[in-house]
Structure 1
Amino acid sequence: MTWTSWSESRGGLIMQWPKVTLKRAGETVDISCYQNYTRLAYMYWYQQPPRHGLKLVASIVTWMKNSYEEGYSEAKFYITRDNNDYSVMTIKNVTYNDAATYFCLTIQHFVTVTTNNLIFGDGTKLTVIGTDDKIIPPSVAIFSPSKQEIQQKNKATLVCLASGFYPDHLNLFWKVNGAKRTEGVGTDEFSTQNGNEKTFSLTSLTEVDIGDVYSCSLVH
């Protein structure tokens, strides 16, 4: 499944896609970035490995050759840019070490750099599995709320557990009365590996009113 989303800042829009992608080792992946603000001459690509900070991959300026940081090369991370507005980063022969979230960033070239004039895409999460790895779907369970909470608050805190899945490539969301819930949801930032096993688990919780119709949905 492909997810596409926009970020907006100071009159500029930036779109990055896909939002999530799954590849087997040795395959190639394309990550695209589009921005509609023509004065944003500077564009950067960043990599954020799981549980680590951002690492700059390369800087792309319209009138200069691409500049790669140490540890990154054009042979591996091939980046093109058409005019000012569109860039594609192609990661070749992916390995487990390439599994990360990738961000594109644009900025005006004539201003002092501050967090107010940086415009980030929403990121692309790349998951890499072995050539022969088997994809294992999750088991899902919703745990019942406590009777005491229902009696005292007339509400119920629900916990959804997705377990036994591989790879760590899961989108979990709640639906309440037929509508996808985007607020009032607490989901683990990272999946948890199940001991020495290869599978993962993820939990999420939300609060509903008594009588609401709810479901915990997964895309894997």
Structure 2
Amino acid sequence: MALTREQMAERVARELRDGFYVNLGIGIPTLVANYVPKGMEVMLQSENGLLGMGPFPTDSEVDADMINAGKQTVTARVGASIFSSVESFAMIRGGHVDLTVLGAFEVDVQGNIASWMVPGKLVKGMGGAMDLVAGAENIIVTMMHASKDGESKLLDRCSLPLTGSGCIKRVLTDLAYIEIADGAFHLKERAPGVSVEEIKAKTAGRLIVPASVPEMKF
């Protein structure tokens, strides 16, 4: 079976390391805040000016003024800091974020990412993704492997306007964990119950498959 959004967030959270400053993008990436391993110290950063996000609030904890970049209500952990978006983007552009987790519409074998515009559809703005991919060395994209129509989102070449070029090295989809290197997707793990054949069928870009592909454990 394909991973749920929550399982995708849990798997991405395994890539966190003690002491990391981490930016979580809009969508599935925001859920990573709920799966930080116990005992691990990470500081979650939001581009609207919050460093030290905690998990999503319970009903009794909701504060309408405490939001992330996706306008979802969040909590703040002990030691959190609130500042302007100008200072937040200075932190991002200055390379002070250790890990960035982003959503995407498409990713290709050259590590290009398209995440901000679909031609013909209304766009409110490009958001901070262009700054994040330019300012971060360590980026994980989390996305659906294919569209609702079954069209692959892992391509030889992105068809949509790019957010960043040659900046993506790791992708976690609802079907697989993949690394990008040498002009190809390298299959590292598969979702429980998902076959290598299904992943191959839904990957348009060049895919390198090792002799054995372990299943993710949950």
Whether these two folds match at TM > 0.5 is: no
Give 1 or 2: higher helix fraction: 2
Give 1 or 2: higher strand fraction: 1
* Rg (Cα) greater in structure: 1
Query: Scaled by the length of structure 1, what TM-score is found?
Result: 0.27
